[in-house]
Amino acid sequence: MAVATQQPNTPSIVTRDVPLEFVRNIGVIAHIDAGKTTLTERVLYYSGVNSHIGEVHEGTATMDWMPQERERGITITSAATVCPWRQHRINLIDMPGHVDFTAEVERCLRVLDGAVSVFCAVKGVQPQSETVWRQAKKYAIPVVAFVNKMDRTGADFLRTVREIGDRLAVNAVPVQIPVGAEEGFRGMVDLLNMRFLTFSTKDFGATVIEEDVPDDIREAADTALGYLVECLAEFDDVVMTRFLSDVLPSTDEMRGALRKGTLSGDIMPVLCGSAFSNQGAQPLLDAVVDYLPSPLEVRGPSCAKNILQPQNARDAHTGEPFTAVAFKTMSDSFGGDVAFLRVYSGMAHCGMTVRNARTGGHCQMDTMMQMHADHRESKEAAFSGEIVAVTGLTDVATGDMLCTPELSIDLDAPVEFPEPVLSMHVEPKRSEDRDPVLAALRSLVRDDPTLRLRTDYETGQTLLSGMGELHLEIVVDRLHSEYDLSVRVGRPKIAYRAMAGGHGRSDKKFIKQMGDIAQFAHLVLELCPLEAQAGLRIVFDVDESRIPLDFRHAVESSLRDTAEAGALNGATLTDTEIRVVGGSYVAGESTDLGFRSVAALALKDALVVSGLTVLEPVMRVEIRTPHGTVGDVIAGISARRGRVWEVDTAPAEAARVMADVPLAELFGYATALRSLTKGRGDFVAEPIRFEAVPECQNDGMAKG
C-alpha cells in the first residue's frame, strides 16, 4: 500500500512505493576473496536488476565499477544498489574485504540494519571475517551467514560452522545443510521445509528445483533439524512448548523464532552454496527478507539533543521531521560532490534546504539519485529507511547529521577510524600541476577518513598517509585516471607517532617588528604524557585576562597544526596533554598571527624539555602454515620482535599462528615466509595499535 505525504516546499505529492516494513537495508561483508561480489552479482541477476551475470575475474562485475577494482579483481570502495525480492525492497551495499579499506566497511555498517557475512568453505573464518564481525557487533547489526565455495576442493561446511561459533563467539545455527561437497556438491536441504534444493544449469541457476530429501542425507537432515529446534527452544516459548511435548514446530513457528533470535543476536542463521556455480543465492535472499530487520525494528542514530522530540532516537516514520546521516562522500568529475545519505525519518526532496548539525550551516539538495554502483537513476524524493545519493550539499563530511532547518539535533559520537600506518612523499611531475595535485589530494582525503595529508616538517614535501601500500597505490592511480595528473612518489615509510616522554614546560615570548606593526605574544605551556590511544588533548588553564578568548582559537589551531606536522622529528604528536597555563598580551600589538607563532615555538621548546617517546604501528598478523613448519614460523616471528599469542594446530589443512608484530619488521616477510614454508604459507595483517619503539631500535629509525 502506498503512503502519500507532502511537506513544505514539496513540488508535488509523492508516494512511498514500498511499505517501510518491506524495506531491508543490508551490507555484504567478508574477508577478501570469500566471494562477496560474486554473490552480489547473482543477487542482482536473480532479482531482475541485471540481464546478465558479471564476473569478478573477467572485470565485468557491476559492483566493482572502478577501473582499479576491475584491474585487480578486488572491491576497493563500497557500492550501493537496490533490488526487489518477494515484494520487498532490498537496499544493498557491497563492501571491501581488504584490510586497507576497512573504513569503507565501518562507515557503511553504521547506517545499515542487517548484514550478510560470507565465509569461504575452504578457508573458514579468516582475519578480516573477524574484523567485520566485530564492526557489525559494534553497531548491534543482526547477521545471516553464507558459507560459500562449497564446490571447491577442501570445502567443509560443518568445520566452517564450528569456526564461526568458536572464533566469533556466536551461536551459529545451520538452517540448511549441503548435499555433497567439493566436486560432489549437488545442492542443499532447506531444514524448515525439509526440501532438497537444486538449481537448473539451463538458465544459470535461476530456476530453483525442490525435491524430496534424498535417502542418503535424510538422517543427517533430521539430526540438523533437531539441533535447530533445540536452539530455537532456548529463547522462544512456542518452540519450547513443542520441544517439550516432542512435537515438531510448524514452519511458520520456526521461521518466527529464527527471526526473533536473529534480531536479538541470540543466533546467526547459516546457509550454504556456491555463488560462482549459481547455487544458493535465492534462498539467501529469502533469509534476508525473513530474518533481517526492517527500519521499523531498529533504533535510529542516538541524539544528544532534539528540540522537537525529547526521546533519544528518531522514529523511522515518514510523518516525522527529516533526519539523515551522510555516511559517505565522493568527489565526482561530472555532477560535483556526491553525498550518500541514509534517511532515518521524514522525507527529502530535490531543492529541499537542510541543516548540517555539525556545522550549523544550511545547504540545498540539488539532485537526488538512486545508485546502482556507478549507474544513476534520478529520484524526486526519498523516504525514511532509504539510501540515496544527493548533490549540492556543501561542507558535508562522513558522519554528519542532516535535518530540517528548524530541528536541533546532534549525533552523540563520531565514527572512529584507525590511524594510517604508512606514508609517502607525493609531488607533481610538472611544476604547473602543483595546485591541481594538492586540490585533488585534498578531495580524496576528504572522501576517505583514513587518508591524511600534511607537509613534511623537515623537507617541505607533501606527505600522504594511508592504511597500507595498496591503499596509497590506489590513490596515486586515481590521480592519473580520474584527474589526469602525473606524480612522483617516494617509497612508503612507516607513519610513526610520538608522545611526550615526560613533563615539559616552556615560557615563550614572540616579539617582532613587521613593518610599522609591532607583534607581541606570550605563552606558557606544560606537557604531560597520556594513556595509550588518548589522542591529543589541549586544555586552557589560564585566566581570560591573560589570554583573551579572541586569541584562544589561534593558539589551539596552531598547536594542533604543529603537532600534526611533527614538531621535532616529523612524527605526529599524540597521547599528550598540552596545558596552556600562562601568558600575556598587549592591546594593539597582539594578533592571531603572533599567538599562532608563539604557540608553535612554545610547543617545540616544551617537547625538547620533555623528550619524545616514539610510537610505531603494531600489526595483528595471522599466518597459515603447514604443520611441519610451525616451529620455524614462530622462531621467525620472535626474531622480528613479534609476540605470538595463539597457535591453532587443529585445522587439518594448515596450522594457524596469531601474533602481534611491529609493521617495521614485516617488510620482506612475505618472501621470508615463502622460503620457510616452501611456498605453502601465507599471512594477512591489520593495524591493531601503536606501541613505544624500544630504545635499541630508535637509532637510524626513518622519520615521519
pLDDT of residue 314: 55
The CATH number, out of the four listed (3.40.50.1000, 3.40.630.40, 3.30.230.10, 3.30.420.40), of the domain defined by the range 498-610: 3.30.230.10
- Between the alpha carbon of residue 132 and those of residues 36, 108, 158, 619, the distances in Å are 13, 11, 21, 16
Distance CA(418)–CA(103), nearest Å, equals: 8
Say if strands 422-428 and 362-364 run parallel, antiparallel, or are unpaired. unpaired
Contact between 462 and 438 (Cβ < 8 Å): yes
Q: Which 8-state DSSP code applies to residue 329? A: E
pLDDT of residue 317: 59
Question: Residue holding cell 544458493?
Answer: 280
Residue 436 region, left (φ>0) first, then alpha (ψ -120 to 50), else beta?
alpha
Distance CA(242)–CA(254), nearest Å, equals: 11
pLDDT of residue 307: 38
Contact between 666 and 640 (Cβ < 8 Å): yes
Q: What is the pLDDT of residues 269-314, one digit of tens each?
A: 999 999 999 999 999 999 999 999 999 888 766 543 443 443 444 5
pLDDT of residue 177: 97
Q: What is the pLDDT of residues 415-447, one digit of tens each?
A: 778 888 888 999 999 888 889 999 999 989 988
Detail the DSSP E strand segments found in 380-514.
Answer: 381-383, 387-391, 400-403, 409-411, 422-428, 452-455, 462-466, 487-489, 493-494, 497-500, 504-514
pLDDT of residue 101: 84
Q: What is the pLDDT of residues 50-96, one digit of tens each?
A: 888 877 766 677 777 677 777 777 777 888 899 999 999 999 998 88
What lies within 8 Å, CB to CB, of 245 at 6+ separation is none
Span 306-411: which CATH code? 2.40.30.10
pLDDT of residue 13: 59
Q: Which three cell numbers stand for residue 213?
A: 530429501
Domains 422-495 and 615-698 equal at CATH topology level: yes
Q: Which of 334-338, 519-523, 695-699 has the highest mean pLDDT?
A: 519-523
Window from 60-74, 267-281, 378-392, 538-552 with minimum mean pLDDT: 60-74
Between 366 and 409, residue with greater pLDDT: 366
Q: What is the pLDDT of residues 207-222, one digit of tens each?
A: 999 999 999 999 999 9
Q: Could you count the other beta carbons within 10 Å of the beta carbon of residue 379? A: 18
Q: Identify the bridge partners of residue 526 per DSSP, sorted by sequence position.
A: 505, 579
Three-state DSSP class for 226? helix
Alpha-helical regions (H) of 490-582:
549-565
pLDDT of residue 277: 95
Report angle CA 539, 570, 431 to the nearest 5 degrees. 120
Contact between 142 and 112 (Cβ < 8 Å): no
Distance CA(36)–CA(116), nearest Å, equals: 9
Confidence of residue 565 (pLDDT cuts 50, 70, 90): confident
Span 422-495: which CATH code? 3.30.70.870
Helix axes 102-109, 127-138, angle to 10 degrees: 30
* Domain covering 615-698 assigned CATH 3.30.70.240 in the classification: yes
Which of 137, 116, 118, 121 has its CA nearest to residue 129?
A: 118
Q: What is the pLDDT of residues 648-689, one digit of tens each?
A: 887 767 888 999 999 999 888 888 888 888 888 888 888 888
pLDDT of residue 376: 86
Q: Where are the domains of the chain?
A: 16-297, 306-411, 422-495, 498-610, 615-698
Window from 102-111, 511-520, 597-606 with minimum mean pLDDT: 511-520
pLDDT of residue 309: 44
Window from 7-11, 193-197, 357-361, 689-693 with minimum mean pLDDT: 7-11
The one-letter amino acid at 685: A
Distance CA(92)–CA(201), nearest Å, equals: 26
Four-residue CA torsion sign, 129, 130, 135, 136: positive
Alpha-helical regions (H) of 62-198:
67-72, 102-109, 127-138, 157-168
Distance CA(378)–CA(611), nearest Å, equals: 58
Which CATH topology does 16-297 take? Answer: Rossmann fold (3.40.50)
Q: What is the pLDDT of residues 482-515, one digit of tens each?
A: 889 999 998 888 888 999 999 999 999 999 887 7
What is the overall mean pLDDT for the chain? 87
Which of 596, 572, 439 has its CA nearest to residue 508?
A: 596
Ordered strands of the 517-529 beta sheet: 504-514, 517-529, 576-584, 536-540
Three-state DSSP class for 127? helix
pLDDT of residue 59: 67
Question: Residue holding cell 543427517?
Answer: 220
pLDDT of residue 330: 84
Q: 415, exposed or middle or buried, with CB in 10 Å at 0-12, 13-18, 19+? A: middle
pLDDT of residue 470: 86
Which of 328, 439, 315 has its CA nearest to residue 393?
A: 328
